[in-house]
Amino acid sequence: MEIDINCLVKEYGNMISMIAHRMIQNKEIAREAAQEVWYELCKSISSFKGDSEISTWIYTIARRTIGRYAACEKQVKMSEIEYFRSLPEFEYSGGEEAKREWIKERCDWCITALNHCLNNDARLIFIFRENVGLPYRQIGEIMELKESNVRQIYNRSIQKITAFMNDTCPLYNPDGACKCRICKPVYSIDMDKEYTMVQRMMRLADLYRKFEKELPRKNYWEKFLQ
C-alpha cells in the first residue's frame, strides 16, 4: 500500500505536535518527541498493510514514541495546582499590541499544566478524546485497552478537570468565582470580540479544540515538508 508521507504530514502534523506539546511541558523536548514520531513513521511506513485505519496506526506510533519522552513527566497533585493559583497574579508590562498574544500564551501554558494532574495514560486518553476527537473504540485500539476501560478513565479525567476549570477558568465559566492568576489581563481585553464563541461553549471538548485553533501553533513537523 503506497502512502505519500507529505500528505500524512499535512493532515496529521498539527495533531502530532499538539499531542507532544500537551504531554510534555518542556518545549524543546516536546519538539524532539514530535519529530521522532515522524522519523518512526517514515522508517516503518512500508510496513503498513492497511489492517487498521491509518489514523490508528499513526496515533499508535505517536503514543509509543511520545510516551517514551513523557515517561519522566511529573504528575501534579490537585493540591499543588490549588497552591499555585493562590500565588500573586501575573502582571503584564508590555505594549497593547502584544497583550492578546501574551494572554493566549499564558492560557496555553495553563492548559498544558492542568493536563498534568492526570497520569500519562489518562492524559493521552483525554487528549485523544477531547483534542483529537477520536471515538472510544479507536482510542482503545491505540492504547491497547478495552473500550470500557477507556471510558472509565476518560470519565474520571473529565470530572477532575471540569470541576477545576469551572471554578478557575474565566473562559470556560465566565460566571464562576475565577481564581486564575491572569484573570485581570483576560478580562481587560475585549472578551465579547475575542472569546464570544468560547464563552457560549458548554462542552470542555469545544473549548480545547477552540484553543488549538486560537493559541500559538507548535509546528514541530514543518521540516518534513521541505
- The Cα–Cα gap between 212 and 217 comes to 8
Local structure of 208: helix, strand or coil = helix
47 vs 181: which has the higher pLDDT? 47
Residue with cell 473529565: 158
Q: 221 by DSSP, 3-state: which?
A: coil
User: Exposure pattern of 123-160 as b/e (b: 16+ CB <10 Å)?
Assistant: bbbbbbbbbbebebebbbbbbebeeeebbebbeebbeb
The boundaries of the domain holding residue 115 are 3-222
List all residues 6 or more positions away from 121 whose beta carbon is below 8 Å from its beta carbon.
143, 153
Taking Cα atoms as reference points, which of 111, 124, 116, 128 lies closest to residue 165?
A: 111
Q: How confident is the model at residue 185 (pLDDT cuts 50, 70, 90)?
A: confident
Q: What is the pLDDT of residue 201?
A: 39
Q: Tell which wins on pLDDT, 55 or 112.
A: 55
- pLDDT tens readout for residues 57-109: 999 999 999 999 999 888 888 777 777 666 677 777 888 778 777 877 777 77
Which residue shows C-alpha cell 473504540? Answer: 137
pLDDT in tens, 113-167: 788 889 999 999 999 998 899 999 999 999 999 999 999 999 999 888 888 777 7
- Determine the 3-state secondary structure of 217 from DSSP: coil
Q: Which three cell numbers stand for residue 40?
A: 518512526
What CA–CA distance (Å, rounded) separates 167 from 173? Answer: 7
Q: How many domains does the chain have?
A: 1
> Residue 201's closest CA among 225, 226, 177, 165?
165
Burial track 95-110 (b if 16+ CB lie within 10 A, e otherwise): eeeeeeebbbebbbeb
